[in-house]
Structure 1
């Protein structure tokens, strides 16, 4: 991998990791469109350490409070009813599905799941799912502010309403992102919206939930660097680029969803997926473009 490739792929990782459009799919597609070799699941996982470092810094106050409360709850039973302590446990519980499935499906993640036809399918299908979830959230918000005409409509849930059941559902949604094209944030945010959470709450928990899974995955894949065409220098460079760009994207995205819907991302996903289907069908792109023979 050249330094120029790592620069572009680092930019793509940073731009797409937190948006509901799938960073792993975009890294795969960028390489395929440019005629480069597929950077692979290991490169993707390691560069995500950069974007998750941006999460750690952006949400540092929340994370520090949650970790502190969680450790205190181990010694003090009275702390176990504290919201932050409970949130710490729920992040752990929600991380179990992706941890178990990530190890179980490792060979598929690095092989068959990177087929461009599968990526096109997940882009379109999850785009539709996100669109439906966003519509439900918009109707719920409109009902809450309609002057009392819909008193039976429950207000949008916040993270204080999060329990073990919802935490596990969030975790299962996150695990779907092991397939490129699904999108970690897209799947977890959609799941949150379907469960009745506000856009802000769903996005915030999506970012918090990703921290242990992404950091563990990146550290697990460190041994893969140096094998094949991906080397340490370009990988570290791409990770640093992803961190800087990712931090800016988080700040923008959290402001965006406070007043806007996810429909621009829904439309983008569906159009990109259909374009990818057309290019593969026309023979312009091979379903396995860029994959190494080994």
Structure 2
């Protein structure tokens, strides 16, 4: 990897991890279009570390309150708003964890073509558009119900299909369940934390087992750039989402999907 590739992929990962436009689609697409070599597993781990650090720092006060309330709920059996949200994040992660273990090989070998990416971008982009126009409500993430958690958690498993976007499908499901744009976005971002930890853990385990040499300078730079861009993305997305809505991201998904179909069909 040269430094231009490191910078572009790092910033791209940080931006697309939390926008509803599919980070996996962009990280697969860029090497395909540019002819760059695959960035490798070690670099993927570094990018995940950067994204994880960003979301944890941004939501540090929320996470601290959730952790205290969750720990207290284990002994008191009583759930306040923070404890309920913490349990919602943990329980909402179970479906994607099980689905990932069951379908990992199929996804990596059969569903990563540009045409499949285009299908995912277009189909789930239209679903996001419909949910944003017709179904969004006014509830915050603290008002999420167990039924909502089941819906969003099961929807998150669909993100294993390239082009879907984990943040996009969870926001779509949360909007359809009646959360506001900001509530759906905040719950999606919180839900990303255990998912990134699980994905990064699996990649780290595989990395340690293969024993390949790594370029530590590239990894450090990748993690820092991914973290900075992810933090800025989360901040400004939450600042402007109620004003701009989801439709600009839908338009981008449809355009990118159409370009991919034109190039590869």
Residues 165 and 134 (structure 1), Cα distance of their counterparts in 2 relative to 1, 3 Å cut:
same
Deviates more, 1:122-131 or 1:173-182: 173-182
In structure 1, C-alpha distance between the alignment counterparts of 2:157 and 2:63, rounded to whole Å:
22
| Native 8 Å contact 1:22 1:181 kept in 2 | yes
Residues 120 and 54 (structure 1), Cα distance of their counterparts in 2 relative to 1, 3 Å cut:
same
- TM-score between the two structures when normalised by the length of structure 1: 0.83
What do the CA deviations read for 1:166-185 (whole angstroms, capped 9, x no partner)? 11211112121112211111
Q: 1:201-240 maps to which residues of 2 (within 5 A)?
A: 201-225=183-207, 231-233=214-216, 234-240=218-224
| Native 8 Å contact 1:124 1:273 kept in 2 | yes
Name structure 1 gaps, 5 residues minimum.
Answer: 141-154, 282-294
Residues 270 and 133 (structure 1), Cα distance of their counterparts in 2 relative to 1, 3 Å cut:
same
In structure 2, C-alpha distance between the alignment counterparts of 1:42 and 1:107, rounded to whole Å:
19
What do the CA deviations read for 1:93-147 (whole angstroms, capped 9, x no partner)? 100011111111121232212111110100010111111111115xx6xxxxxxx
Residues 229 and 13 (structure 1), Cα distance of their counterparts in 2 relative to 1, 3 Å cut:
farther
- Output the aligned Cα RMSD: 2.1
Query: In the alignment, what sits opposite 2:159?
Result: 177
Residues 197 and 260 (structure 1), Cα distance of their counterparts in 2 relative to 1, 3 Å cut:
same
Which of 121, 135, 155 matches 1:123? 121
- Larger-Rg structure: 1
- What secondary structure sits across from 1:36 in the alignment? coil
| Native 8 Å contact 1:174 1:187 kept in 2 | yes
- Count the aligned residue pairs: 263
Query: In the alignment, what sits opposite 2:15?
Result: 15
| Native 8 Å contact 2:73 2:83 kept in 1 | yes
- What secondary structure sits across from 2:139 in the alignment? coil
TM superposition outliers: structure 1 runs of 4+ over 6 Å:
none
